[in-house]
Amino acid sequence: MVSIDTGTTAAVAAANGHGSAVTKSATTADGVAFPPMSQSNGEKTEIDASRKRKMSIMPLEVGTRVNCRWRDGKYHPVKVIERRKLQGDGPSDYEYYVHYTEFNRRLDEWAKLDQLDLSSVETDVDEKVEDKVTSLKMTRHQKRKIDETHVEGHEELDAASLREHEEFTKVKNIATIELGRYEIETWYFSPFPPEYNDCTKLFFCEFCLNFMKRKEQLQRHMRKCDLKHPPGDEIYRNGTLSMFEVDGKKNKVYGQNLCYLAKLFLDHKTLYYDVDLFLFYVLCECDDRGCHMVGYFSKEKHSEESYNLACILTLPPYQRKGYGKFLIAFSYELSKKECKVGTPERPLSDLGLLSYRGYWTRVLLDILKKHKGNISIKELSDMTAIKAEDILSTLQSLELIQYRKGQHVICADPKVLDRHLKAAGRGGLDVDVAKLIWTPYKEQG
């Protein structure tokens, strides 16, 4: 990584063999480098003043706004969330946990001093004015992207609770995990037990989901662990894909470990320690070594609000392969088996919301094409198990429904439907209902 000049300029003049002056970069006692400066007295005075100002703000305070070099090599505005002391006694011997204000919290990270552009430091900025300026600077595409990743994030929290949540979870406690053959960078804070406070990496058994501090512990555990798949009933198998139903009451430790793991990649969900009330549907890729988890969804055993899904996650190494859409489709197939309509529990995560919008769009437009629009909202709901409110909001967002003479009328022009279907993208993996062997929970036992 190429270091950048983070301070103001200072010069050291020396005569070369021809009597002309050359300049060299200077370094402060605490290691902050400054590039060469010109010999003008006016410029020198101005630069010295600038240098003193910049040194006076070190170390940066929590809440400071500054530009930071990201992994794309470009500078982006950040807010300092936390700081910690490194070895050394100087004001520059700190690193800073920063939030990129243009991006989702999952990209928050610890940044070294040489990543920060100290000339861009803002300490006393009015929040509303700053947000307005940032909004004006963003392109339309960037703003849409940010809106998509922040919509429906914390609707269940009031302002005070949201501040408390963000304060408690502001710094990622676990940086990476090892799960099976993958090492995965985490996205968010997860409230692991206190004995794991000093860990930045955890090692998970990919079958029972027990987690350990050291690789050696995992290796010893794997020699003893006799599980090769999630501890539940296999209810679906199609080729190398299997789905297991895990009862949280019968497999409490597994359910809790799955919640700890999932919270590393989900910002908005409350971590449920009482997993007795939930069923977990764990999707696996299977080979001769066992069944390897790629994602899961959970649902309440009894939901008064008709929720057919409480939480959904596809692990990062398996994303963009159609598994998220498969999990959503699977939850609706279970609803059909129960002869109920269903809807996901709110709030949805950012990625969950986008996946559901895509799923509802594809399913509904396929039916509208076949029926040429001659179908009611109630009939669509009965056919798909999608709640009427979700159907209505989807069609309204696509501008395919109008309100005439006291009722909703679907407008299904074939060319418009084709355009929306193309924009919705591919549908992902299909659920072969003939290979689903499952009895609804209420009928078990």
Please, which pLDDT band fits residue 428 given cuts at 50, 70 and 90?
Answer: confident
The predicted structure's pLDDT at residue 342? 97
The predicted structure's pLDDT at residue 91? 79
Q: Which residue among 345, 379, 389, 399 is the active-site one?
A: 345
The label of the residue with tokens 């982006």 reads 76
Each residue's pLDDT tens digit, 263-298: 999 987 666 568 999 999 999 999 999 999 999 999
Compare 309 and 427 and report the one with higher pLDDT. Answer: 309
Each residue's pLDDT tens digit, 29-55: 444 444 454 556 666 666 665 566 666
The predicted structure's pLDDT at residue 330? 98
Each residue's pLDDT tens digit, 206-230: 999 999 999 999 999 999 999 999 9
> Which is nearest to 188 in space by CA: 175, 205, 202?
175
Please, which pLDDT band fits residue 164 given cuts at 50, 70 and 90?
Answer: low
202 pLDDT above the threshold of 60: yes
The predicted structure's pLDDT at residue 130? 43
Each residue's pLDDT tens digit, 43-94: 666 666 556 666 677 899 999 999 999 999 999 999 999 998 888 877 788 9
* Segment among 122-126, 270-274, 298-302, 406-410 with least mean pLDDT: 122-126
The predicted structure's pLDDT at residue 44? 65
Does residue 338 carry a catalytic annotation? no
How large is the average pLDDT for residues 291-317? 95
